[in-house]
């Protein structure tokens, strides 16, 4: 897994803890590379959609429509949450489900 | 550094998404004014958006004026442009004024750093509260309604028991 983040969004520590907890609860042994996106050049190179972003073997755990925005380092990512809400982090159950799906694809 | 509690709030006159202007002068006579630094794209703003709109609606009955100010640089964050602010305000049926601080001078004058970040001004337009709307962006976990408590206090002529909290949100996107 790769965890991309930028410090302009205060969710980055909680987001990483969320990933680890979702993996633990799913019985998945994770190797996480934590990458801080520092510059707009980094953001462009990584096609960074905002902080935090979870990549499994380079694929976004929460793929979204390409809105054509130029990637910038100081971008916070919005996640859909239960009840039609929007928040700075995905729900634990959604992370766990996405991790399980990614694990299945990895062994297929 | 933000303006200190008890200090006079900087004045402003800014264009709003409804085609008008927002200014502290126009709020003369209001028992309190809420100035919130805001934007479209930030997930923290989105998370608090409905609660903030509900508070603005509720306290407008007591004469409280609420102004949200979008100051983010639209070059790097086009979703925060004035045109997109107009769309957002209409879509979400904002009951508060949503004003554009294109020069970012108002955000700098207040010393704002994040969105959302709120300032409650008392009847004399001194800062009575500065910080977060409540204690959690997740409404299911929020237990301390900072902004509500501050407004209740100001309307009763008291100082808020908690006058300053740490705003939690995205950094304001300054022009480079």
**Dist. CA A75–CA A50, nearest whole Å:** 5
Are B170 and A8 an interchain contact pair (Cβ–Cβ within 8 Å)?
A: yes
Instruction: With cut-offs at 50, 70 and 90, classify the pLDDT of residue A66.
Output: low
- Supply the pLDDT for residue A64: 76
What is the arithmetic mean of pLDDT over A81-90? 92
**Dist. CA B109–CA B11, nearest whole Å:** 9
> Which of B44, B45, B131, B139 to probe the A interface (max A CBs under 10 A)?
B44
- Residue spans of chain B under pLDDT 50: none
b/e burial code for range B33-68 (CB count within 10 A of at least 16 → b): bbbbbbbbbbbbbbbbbebbbebbeebeeeebbbbb
Q: Residue A45: enclosing H or E segment and its boundaries?
A: helix A40-46
Q: Which residue of B has its CA nearest to A10?
A: B169
Residues of chain A whose beta carbon is less than 8 angstroms from a beta carbon of chain B are 8-11, 40, 69-70, 72, 74-79, 85-88
Residues of chain B whose beta carbon is less than 8 angstroms from a beta carbon of chain A are 41-44, 46-47, 76-79, 137-139, 168-171, 173
Instruction: With cut-offs at 50, 70 and 90, classify the pLDDT of residue A68.
Output: low
B5: its two tokens: 């509690």
Q: What is the ipTM of this complex?
A: 0.84
- Supply the pLDDT for residue A107: 80
Residue A40 has pLDDT above 80, yes or no: yes
Q: Where are the domains of chain B?
A: 13-171
pTM beyond 0.90, yes or no:
yes
Q: Domain B13-171 adopts which CATH fold? A: Glutaredoxin (3.40.30)
């Amino acid at each position: 897994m790769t965890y991309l983040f930028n410090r302009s969004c205060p969710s980055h520590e909680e987001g990483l803890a969320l990933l680890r907890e979702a993996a633990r609860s799913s019985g998945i042994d994770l190797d996480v590379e934590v990458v801080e996106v520092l510059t707009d050049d980094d953001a462009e190179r990584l096609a960074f959609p905002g902080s935090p972003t979870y990549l499994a073997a380079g694929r976004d755990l929460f793929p979204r429509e390409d809105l054509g925005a130029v990637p910038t380092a100081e971008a916070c990512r919005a996640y859909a949450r239960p009840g039609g809400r929007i928040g700075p982090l995905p729900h634990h159950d959604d992370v766990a489900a996405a991790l399980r799906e990614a694990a299945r694809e990895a062994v297929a | 550094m933000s303006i200190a509690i008890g200090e006079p709030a900087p004045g402003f006159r800014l264009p709003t998404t409804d085609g008008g202007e927002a200014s502290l002068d126009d709020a003369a006579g209001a028992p309190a004014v809420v100035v919130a630094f805001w934007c479209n794209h930030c997930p923290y703003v989105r998370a608090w958006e409905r609660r903030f709109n509900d508070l603005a609606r509720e306290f407008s009955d007591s004469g409280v004026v609420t102004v949200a100010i979008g100051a983010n640089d639209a070059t790097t964050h086009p979703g925060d442009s004035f045109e997109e602010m107009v769309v957002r305000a209409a879509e979400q049926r904002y009951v508060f004024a949503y004003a554009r601080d294109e020069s970012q001078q108002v955000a700098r004058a207040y010393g704002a750093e994040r969105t959302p970040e709120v300032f409650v001004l008392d009847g004399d337009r001194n800062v009575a509260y500065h910080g977060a709307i409540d204690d959690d962006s997740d409404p299911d976990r929020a237990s301390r309604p900072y902004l509500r408590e501050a407004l209740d206090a100001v309307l009763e002529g008291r100082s808020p028991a908690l006058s300053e909290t740490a705003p939690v949100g995205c950094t304001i996107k300054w022009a480079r």
